Amino acid sequence: MPRTKIDIANLPSVVTAERDGEIGFLRLSRPEKRNALNDTLVLGIEAYFAGLPNDIRAVVLTGDGDHFSAGLDLSELTVRNTVESVHHSRNWHRVFDQFEFGKVPVIAVLHGAVVGGGLELASACHVRVAERSAYYALPEGVRGIYVGGGGSVRIPRLIGASRMMDMMLTGRTYGAEDGLSMGLSHYLVENGAGLEKAVELAKRCAANTPMTNYAVMHALPRIADIDRPGGYMMEALMAAISSGSEEAQARLKDFLEKRAPKALHKG
């Protein structure tokens, strides 16, 4: 089935919204600026997820051109005072939280520059597929600024505070293979193969029950942040809620009656 456009209100031209059945596609469409993130693009991301049709079960996020995103459009920093800059950063936090803790899993396809705010955006996605052209950097330190899109919160959870500190203090850049081993991506594929892999993964996510996906996206990261007794209690509640649904009971019955595939490692 060919992709079709999704009609979403207030969607600017710098983002493109499409769908193929249950899979939604959001594309950063500012290639002439290496998909640098300005207010219009970030608010476009917000509009997309706010207007996402209810029958979309997973989203694939990509970038037009040779790069996923080269980060914040630095020209915007020169027109803000301190108070305005705080509000600008908090706006990014709100938008990225909206899909990190949203309705559906988001799979990012990373290629070329995944730098600064682009890495912050990628770190808010649930699954990241990198092509071999992808490279990662946090150049804010050498530019006299600091991350403002949630990077201080999300990126250390992926690679550790010490490694992020090194990236910011020294301007160190990592390639795609390093990014895979560090945890910046989950999958590494050849150049040009990222979208196909992301769609495959999105279809797997879409096949899960909505409650299971909700538990993984909303409960799991919170459990990781709280004390052990509280985590055990939240886990028990989510396990009971998810397994008690009619759809879950039907799937369990299919497995027990050997109508469902087993989990096997294919090598």
Q: Is 131 helix (H, G, I), strand (E, B) or coil?
A: strand
Question: Taking the mean position of all CA atoms in its chain, how far away is CA 54?
Answer: 19
Angle in degrees, CA 106, 85, 13, rounded to 5? 45
CA dist., res. 179 & res. 6, Å (int): 33
Q: CA neighbours within 13 Å on the CB side: how many for 58? A: 23
Number of Cβ atoms within 10 Å of the Cβ of 79: 7
Question: What does DSSP say about strands 15-20 and 127-131: parallel, antiparallel, or unpaired?
Answer: unpaired
Q: Is-catalytic flag, 120?
A: yes
Task: Tell me how far apart the alpha carbons of residues 117 and 151 are, in angstroms, rounded to a whole number.
Answer: 8
- The set of residues, in sequence order, having a beta carbon less than 8 Å from that of 4 and lying 6+ positions away, is 18, 19, 20
Hey, what are 141's tokens? Answer: 């330190």
User: How far apart, in whole angstroms, are the C-alpha atoms of residue 130 and residue 186?
Assistant: 8
Which of 46, 120, 190, 196 is labelled catalytic? Answer: 120
Does 32 participate in catalysis according to the annotation? no
Look up tokens 């560090």; give the residue.
182
Kindly name the residue from 18, 84, 131, 140 that is annotated as catalytic. 140
Catalytic residues: 120, 140
